[in-house]
Amino acid sequence: MENIKIKVNGNEVEVSPGKTVLQVLKDLGIHVPVLCNYEPLLPQGSCRLCLVEDRGVLKTACTVPVEPNMDIKTDTPNVIAARKLVLQLLFSERNHYCMYCEVTGECELQDLGYEFGLDHFDFPTYERKFPLDDSHEFIMMDHNRCVLCRRCVRACSEVAGHYVLGEMERGIDTMIIADMDVPLGKSTCVSCGLCAQVCPTGSITDKRSAYLGREVQSDIIYSNCDICPVGCGMEIYKKKGANFIVKIYGDWNSEVSQGLLCKKGRYLSLYDEKERVSGIRIKDDFGYRKGNSEGLIKLINSKIKDAIAYVDGSLFNEELALIKEIFKDKVYSIYPVEPQIPSNISLKDLDTAEFFVVIGADLNRDYGAIGSMVKRRVLGKKAKLMVIDGEFNSLAKIADYVFNTKNINAAKDVLKNEKEVVVIYRDLNKEEKEVLSSLNNAKFLFLPQETNTIGLHNLGIKHEKVSAPTVFIFGKDLEGIKDLPIENSFKIVFTPYENEEIHKADVVVGTTNGFESEGSFYNLEGKTLRKEKVLKPVYDAIDLKTFLSEISGKIEKVF
């Protein structure tokens, strides 16, 4: 389309059609105050702070598209007076007193007050008491601080796809509600926390990060989440000069997740209180005693000759490469690695898919970000959804078709008439595999069980049950070693968490974990992602990569 000519503050400019006035002004470097406008969300024009004058009429710059012959003025007395009035109205009615608000110092409403030089209120405030909803485990919702910008509502639906938040009533009675006005903690909220990330005021806040520090007091570290194989981008706020994380935001610039995070990435990783393994434990006739790293290396040297290694998908590529170097081809995976049907689409393709089939995975619970990608298409009425599951699946209630695993053939009858279907699966039984691979209109996305399953696959590490006199076990999730034929082997376990299984081991070594470790891994699309080290370990834990490169050098000397 041809560029169109408009006037901005008296100067003629050529702009491409399809842009909003706000985007044009931004490109021209003209500052326009905004509150409800937030780039990743669709503009709504609910706060009305971005008013500009076009041929004598006030318009909200964020929602009005440019059109020929526009004569935009951003600094007339009329515009400035209107914006000041709007800001005064935003401060009215509810409690916008900064001195006892948690977010003071990083509140967008407060910043606007400072920008406008607002030094008193023209309208009454604090007239009515609104409820404070603290029923949610992680999120605090204080309606007294709300300016009804509806960023949370839009983020919850447009981006996160949950459609939990909404609004009720009108005018000054308008309230942000969850579901049909139930407490947030009792609603269908899946705790992705995006609402708290986008809230411009102290209305929706993260309980854990309250009073831990401001953004300006934090170092921002961009990393990728390694809890599940999606690998969402994280924006981690670590308190400057301290060893703790204030909060975690979804990284809007992440190619994988584009701002999404789930409960696990945003909250559970910070609430991790599982018992950790500290130090080195070596078993002798009297039980475990504390060991040191020299003794451990000596012991490893004496045992390494006829040893094999078991690994799980929590290890990073660098660690796996070193294990491969030490143990050559005698490295096995504790858990299955091979996808039953290989993936042939990426996560980006989910945003254009028109029919989803979800099999054997509750996306709300286990792969939250993918759940969001599917739900925002399905609930946005842009795609259909079929859920095939043997047990309860929380996606079933929004699905167009629900089938029990046993009725896979009935599902096939529906699927074969569709143009293209995207099958998202974790486990397939034999029959499902047969039926689905016979569909010629199906694309597949395999959900690996562990973070770096794809990395194990790429390195050719296979899931085999092999026995040897000495077995090295590296991993986080050790439930699976029960099924390995290693009862009589000498077992050396490197793991971060305490577990029933490690009591059977002869040597236990605590390793770093979570935000204490760094490395790269392959996500489920096969993208190499990096996880950054944020915290110093508080336990006596070794860094596996450093330790392995150390013994790798020493063992070569022995051989």
Query: Which residue of 23, 46, 110, 449 would you call a contact of other proteins, by CB under 8 A?
Result: 110
* Residue 40, phi then psi, degrees to nearest 5: -70, -10
The total number of residues written for the chain in this structure = 559
Q: Exactly one of 84, 121, 336, 443 binds other proteins (CB under 8 A); which one? A: 121
Nearer to other proteins, 120 or 430 (CB): 120
Interface size with other proteins, residues (CB under 8 A): 17
* Contact predicate 330/309, CB 8 Å: yes
By CB under 8 A, what part of segment 67-106 binds other proteins?
A: 97-100, 104-105
Stretch that binds other proteins, among 11-19, 113-121, 172-180, 221-229 (CB under 8 A): 113-121
Which of 69, 53, 65 minimizes the C-alpha distance to 9?
53
Instruction: Pick the closest to residue 277 from 268, 290, 259, 295 (CA basis).
Output: 290
Among 10, 29, 56, 117, binds other proteins (CB under 8 A): 117
Residue 113 vs 475, nearer CB to other proteins: 113
Give the shortest CB-215-to-other proteins separation in angstroms.
Answer: 16
3-state SS of 72-113 is EECCCHHHHHHHHHHHHHHHCCCCCCHHHCCCCCCCHHHHHH
Q: Residue with structure tokens 């924006």?
A: 235
CB of 53 to other proteins, least distance (A): 25
Question: Of 77 and 287, which has the nearer Cβ to other proteins?
Answer: 77
Q: How far is the CB of 537 from other proteins (least distance, A)?
A: 36
The token duo for 447 is 């959900």
Whole-angstrom distance, CA of residue 526 vs CA of residue 158 = 27
**Distance between CA atoms of residues 315 and 453, nearest Å:** 9
Query: At a CB cut-off of 8 Å and minimum separation 6, what does 361 contact?
Result: 367, 424, 425, 426, 447
Q: Which C-beta is closer to other proteins: that of 118 or that of 345? A: 118
Q: By C-beta, is 146 or 507 nearer to other proteins?
A: 146
Looking at beta carbons only, is 105 or 166 nearer to other proteins? 105
Q: Which is nearer to other proteins, 113 or 371 (CB)?
A: 113
Smallest separation, CB 144 to other proteins (Å): 10
Smallest gap from Cβ 109 to other proteins, in A, equals 10
Closer residue to other proteins, CB minimum distance, 105 or 279: 105
Does residue number 333 form part of the binding site for other proteins (CB under 8 A)?
A: no
In angstroms, give the least distance from the CB of 105 to other proteins: 7
Work out how close the CB of 110 gets to other proteins at its nearest, in angstroms, rounded to a whole number. Answer: 6
Tell me the closest approach of the beta carbon of residue 128 to other proteins, in angstroms.
9
Of the candidate residues 39, 119, 391, 487, the single one contacting other proteins (CB under 8 A):
119
211 three-class SS: coil
Residue 105 or 183: the one with the smaller Cβ distance to other proteins is 105
Name the residue among 389, 379, 381, 378 with its Cα closest to residue 356: 378
| 171 contributes a contact to other proteins by CB under 8 A | no
Walk across the sheet containing 132-133 and list its strands: 132-133, 139-142, 204-206
User: Among 110-118, 287-295, 376-384, 549-557, which window interacts with other proteins (CB under 8 A)?
Assistant: 110-118
User: Which H or E run contains 552?
Assistant: helix 544-558
Closest approach of other proteins to the CB of residue 68, in Å = 39
Residue 125 sits in the site that holds other proteins (CB under 8 A)? yes
Of the candidate spans 119-127, 277-285, 423-431, 480-488, the one that interacts with other proteins by CB under 8 A turns out to be 119-127
The contacts of residue 193 (CB under 8 Å, 6+ apart) are 138, 139, 206, 261, 263, 266, 267
Q: Cβ closer to other proteins: 98 or 396?
A: 98
CB of 202 to other proteins, least distance (A): 12
Q: Distance between CA 390 and CA 361 in Å, rounded? A: 10
Give Cβ neighbours of residue 50 (< 8 Å, ≥ 6 apart).
Answer: 22, 32, 33, 34, 37, 60, 61, 62
Residues 126-155 that bind other proteins (CB under 8 A): 126, 129
Least distance from other proteins to the Cβ atom of residue 184, Å = 22
Three-state DSSP state, 263: helix
Residues 213/239, Cβ–Cβ less than 8 Å = yes
Q: Please, which residue, 121 or 539, has the CB nearer to other proteins?
A: 121
The string of DSSP letters for 359-389 reads: ES--TTTS-HHHHHHHHHHHTTTSSEEEEEE
Exposure pattern of 444-461 as b/e (b: 16+ CB <10 Å)?
Answer: bbbbbbbbbbbbbbebeb
Comparison of 126 and 244: residue with beta carbon closer to other proteins:
126
Among the listed ranges 122-130, 272-280, 322-330, 456-464, the one in contact with other proteins (CB under 8 A) is 122-130
Tell me the pairing of strands 51-54 and 4-8: unpaired
Q: Which is nearer to other proteins, 121 or 163 (CB)?
A: 121
Number of H helices, E strands in the chain: 13, 27
Considering the complex, what minimum distance in angstroms separates the CB of residue 129 from other proteins?
5
The token pair that represents 135 in the structure block: 């029923």
In the numeric block, which tokens belong to residue 473?
């076990």
x/- map, 197-216, other proteins, by CB under 8 A: --------------------
Binding footprint of other proteins on the chain (CB under 8 A): 97-100, 104-105, 110, 113-114, 117, 119-121, 124-126, 129
